[in-house]
Amino acid sequence: MIPSDRWRQVKALFAEALDRAPDARPAFLAAACPHDAALRHEVEELLAADAKAASFIEEPAMLVPGASAPDVMAMPSLHVGDRLGPYEIVEFVGAGGMGEVYKARDPRLGRYVAVKVLVAAAQGHAALARFDREARSASALNHPNIVTIYDIGGASSGLESVAYIAMELVEGCTLRNLLSGGALPTDQLLDIAVQIADALAAAHSKGIVHRDLKPENIMIGGDGRVKILDFGLARVDVAHSRAAGSVMSGNADHVTQAGTLVGTAAYMSPQQASGATVDFRSDQFSFGTILYEMATGRRPFQRQTAAETLTAIIGVDVEPVGDVACGLPAPFQWIVTRCLAKHPEDRYASTELLARELVIVRQHVERPPSGSAARVHNLPSPRTELVGRDRERSSARELVLKSDVRLVTLVGLGGCGKTRLAIQVATDVVDRFPGGVYFVGLASATDPSTVASAIAQALNLPLKSGRSFMEVLTAHVKRAPRRPTLLFLDNFEQVLSAAPLMAELLDAWPALKMLVTSRAPLHVRGEHEFRVRPLALPERGALTSVEQLGESPAVALFLQRARAAAADFASSEDNVRAAAEICARLDGLPLAIELAAARTKLFSPVAMLARLNNRLQLLGRGPRDVPERHRTLRHTLDWSHELLTPVEQKLLRRLSVFAGGCDLEAADAVCNVKGDLEVDPLEGLASLIDHSLIWRSDRSDGDPRFHMLETVREYALERLADSGEDAPVRRAHAAYWLVVAEEAEIDLASSRSQAAWIDRLSADRDNIRAALDWLAVNRNAEWGLRLCNALYLYWMSCAPAEGRNRLSFFMQLPGVAAMPKLLAKALSTAGGLALDQADFAAAAELNEQALDLHRELENSGGVLVCLNNLAVLNREQGNHTAAAALFLDIVHLLQKIGEPTSVAHAMSNLADVIRAQGDFPRARAVQAECLAMSRETGDSAAIAWSLNHQADIAHEQGDVVGARGLYEQALEMFREQNNQSAIARCLVDLGGLARDQGDVRAARARYLEALSRFHELGEVVELARVLEDLVACALDERRWDRALRLAAAASALRDTLGSRLPPSRAARLESHLAVARNHVEHTAAAVAWMEGINLPLESLLAYAQEKSEV
């Protein structure tokens, strides 16, 4: 061992040498040790070892349950029961190249500790210095996220002396272990990130720079607590330390000098990688690398070799984290980008600021801002009061809210009131689930594989093209926020084999709870069954008064529904006692009681009781192996069914094919397709309403819509199958929606009744999906492709990703090649949707395939569509020469065909590209020619658009007066034509003109009018675009936080639709956001963005119109 005085002298010289550049150290040592070559040699050994940057031990002080010890040190130096100073060795944990880690017990305090032991072969001066530095660095920090040092010392082990550090034992796993499963869920990522940042901020405030931050040096305890380990490479930034007011040992090391390479290659900063001087901002870069890996599952700069990795760190820009992993909050992406800035001055001025921004993001991910909106839910609105379920309601609510309960299944036979009770319970607990309460109706589901799609749709998850619903759902679960969320799955008995999926969701999504209704349990781990019994009945044989009978839950339900059915219903003693007997005969089943109560329009309870008695006697001879209560419900439904005329029975079973209801026209078209219904549909529907088998709602336009209770629908579907009409009626249903869609296609293409069509198709989206599902099951590619093609413009406005996925399925069915015309149109339709999503690679491939096929078929119309899509694609990508050539090809082809109206449209598009190329005189000349052609053909819409495009040219040339006049002429014509979509687009153009003039108030007014019109039309993509224009207005008014909120809201809308901004608009918007962020404190920018992204649509519109604040 080196004498202590000698060792103090070596350390002092070593510290002073580190203060100097490497090339100045030899002269310093020659002057400091002129006659002591041994002393100089010892210091040089320390400097050489320091340059190698090897930590004295690479394994963290941890205990990983179930983990085996590494093979590096097959024979540990110490054994169970050995003593090292005061510590008793309990277990060998791991070993690295220079040291070993043990779990030990400190009998003095009765606690377990981790003991790091320096192996004998590594006990040189440099290793001892690094060993000493780790202990001093970590012990100077008192922070819950930094491992606590308890003791440092030396002891004898056998014939050798060993140095050791006793520290806090962290039981859990390293972040590296956690990342072995890929990217982390967003809430878990942020939770870990906040703790790491807080620990780094504490270290940096003391002037301590870790220099080797990596997933292997970060422990995650069983309770989720993060601990940073291994300060073996830590340095003290003396200037930063003094500024922070910290007190360090006089022998503390200083920041790394130029030429020294320290750290782990993949996580080094550019300054470390190039051997330059580093400070606390180097740790920020390493932290950014870890954030990137946690978010994406991959290291940002990883290459084949360490040298290539270091080169990438120094000179290669990383792919934006948001491009690799979707769904990350924008402020988090900003944080990662700033941490990974190549130059230290572009990172954070303090790590405390970095930690504060992460806290802001986490807070808004965990819970929406308090003023943002009411709790999110899509629960059905109950049409009647819940009667007689106070006790069950309270018990079920209590069970759902228990912290250790994740899955509650309300189990009971059909018609016992499970759904109505569950809706009430879910409504009661909405405020306890800030992540939302989502209703998933499965009554019409028969295929377990559709459960994932139903859940994804209920959660409003954006469906990305090329990804299945299961993939979308899995991706969401990985990034789902930690806010408590309730999923309400109704009628799960239809898809019981999907129960394992529910268990997987619960395992993967810790904040999720499920409330399920089913006739049978799911039988998965952790399920809590809640049996829903029939309503309580009066005690038989008891001398009960009329008042007491009326208070019985079952009787109270009957009386309430009877009063609703017949306004003159009297609660006489005879009626009440008969009602009590009816309820008893119906075993207290709510649905059966409601159906019976509806008969009070026709029979008094006394008369009804006699008929019911006869009916039950007749049915009592049925199967004995069916539970009595199941038979009772079916008896009631059978009885209700037999009270119908044969014609009404036919109508009821045929109506059952509708999902989510229907209007009168649809009912007539589907149920009376052969003219064999033998009753006026309206009269038949009214009769079924009187029998309480269907119910009516009124749409916003006043037209009625008819719905069927799900249990009744299930019964009616059985009757439909028994009748042999199932296939023809479902075919009629699909045919009807095909006709509707193809009619809508024509009107939407000509901008006629656009708002009405989008509203109608949205109201019947479930019916359209049911038709597509039936066509898919029956592999009917022809009708499937026709229906998908007809929905193109609707999907473009409301659901482009869903449209592409549906098309993709039908295009891959066998036999599609034998329908080349349909396939060609489907390819161009999918290509158009991809273009609208700014998925340019897919758009090019699909349109090229379609173009080839249309040319083979000599289909000039299809060729024109594809050429137009490809021309627009090139224009959006900035390939103006290619775009102009394609538009010119279109003009020539149309001239050859002889369609002057279309020629004018194509020339207008060509002129627009010429304008983008900067050739304004030629663009103006071409537009003038277009205008003349349109006037000659009398095409008023084309005239208006030509004026609008001429205004674009004048606007770009700076001719404000001319541009305004042309825009206003176009707008007046659009108003005369009642072309609402064109009016809105022209208003946007006028808004842009006003903004360029500096008249922000006028610009905002134009944009807001356009916003309202697009909202009325249901054009959600255009809503996002106008919001992005309003961002520019907010910037002009220096309302930076407003600009960020509006941009965030637009981003959320696009995410929901699966729609991306074209590169040109994306670049412009990003420049706007950069301006806003530069004028707002970083934490305030993060807050504004997270507030905007959580705004529901109606609240967003009110905020945009300045009718409310966030």
What burial class does residue 972 get, using C-beta atoms within 10 Å of its C-beta: 0-12 exposed, 13-18 middle, 19+ buried?
middle
State the first-to-last Cα distance of the chain, in angstroms, to the nearest integer.
69
Q: How far apart are CA 187 and CA 73, in angstroms?
A: 38
Question: Which is nearest to 200 in space by CA: 232, 160, 230, 228?
Answer: 228
Structure tokens at 37: 């070559």
Q: How far apart are CA 1055 and CA 1047, in angstroms?
A: 12
Question: Which is nearest to 442 in space by CA: 506, 515, 345, 385?
Answer: 515
CB 1057: neighbour CB atoms within 10 A? 24
Under 8 Å between Cβ of 950 and 942: no
Q: How many CA atoms lie within 13 A of 669 on its CB side?
A: 16
Q: Pick the catalytic residue: 50, 212, 279, 1041?
A: 212
| The Cα angle at residue 638 between residues 637 and 640, in degrees rounded to 5 | 60
Helical packing angle, 1020-1036 and 980-996, nearest 10°: 20
Structure tokens at 759: 């509203």
Structure tokens at 535: 């309503």
What contacts 24+ positions apart, CB below 8 Å, involve 49-54? 49/124, 49/125, 49/126, 49/127, 49/129, 49/130, 50/18, 50/126, 50/129, 50/130, 50/260, 51/260, 51/261, 53/233, 53/260, 53/261, 53/262, 53/263, 54/97, 54/98
Burial 633-666 (b: 16+ CB within 10 A, else e): bbbbbbbbbebbeeebbbbbbbbbbbbbbbbeeb
Q: What is the dihedral of CA 245, 127, 284, 113, to 10 degrees?
A: -80
CA 156 to chain CA centroid, nearest Å: 58
Contacts of 681 (CB under 8 A, 6+ apart): 651, 664, 667, 668, 671, 672
Under 8 Å between Cβ of 980 and 1011: no
Q: What is the dihedral of CA 1068, 1072, 1077, 1080, to 10 degrees?
A: 180
Distances (CA, A) of 338 to 200, 238, 477, 550, 780: 16, 25, 27, 70, 53
DSSP-derived secondary structure letter, 79 = -
Is 764 a residue of the active site? no
Distances (CA, A) of 214 to 136, 186, 268, 699, 737: 20, 19, 9, 59, 57
Parallel, antiparallel or unpaired: strands 170-174 and 62-63? parallel
Residue where the block lists tokens 């509006």: 1046
CB 192: neighbour CB atoms within 10 A? 22
Q: How far apart are CA 1025 and CA 1053, in angstroms?
A: 10
Backbone angles phi, psi at 149, to 5 degrees: -90, 125
Under 8 Å between Cβ of 284 and 290: no
Helical packing angle, 280-296 and 330-339, nearest 10°: 140
Tell me the one-letter amino acid at 697: S
Structure tokens at 1073: 């956001």
Q: How far apart are CA 511 and CA 523, in angstroms?
A: 21
Q: How far apart are CA 795 and CA 899, in angstroms?
A: 28
Q: Which residues pair with 708 in a beta bridge?
A: 694
CA 521 to chain CA centroid, nearest Å: 29
Q: How far apart are CA 873 and CA 836, in angstroms?
A: 9
Q: How far apart are CA 209 and CA 262, in angstroms?
A: 12
| The Cα angle at residue 340 between residues 334 and 341, in degrees rounded to 5 | 90
Active-site annotation, residues: 212
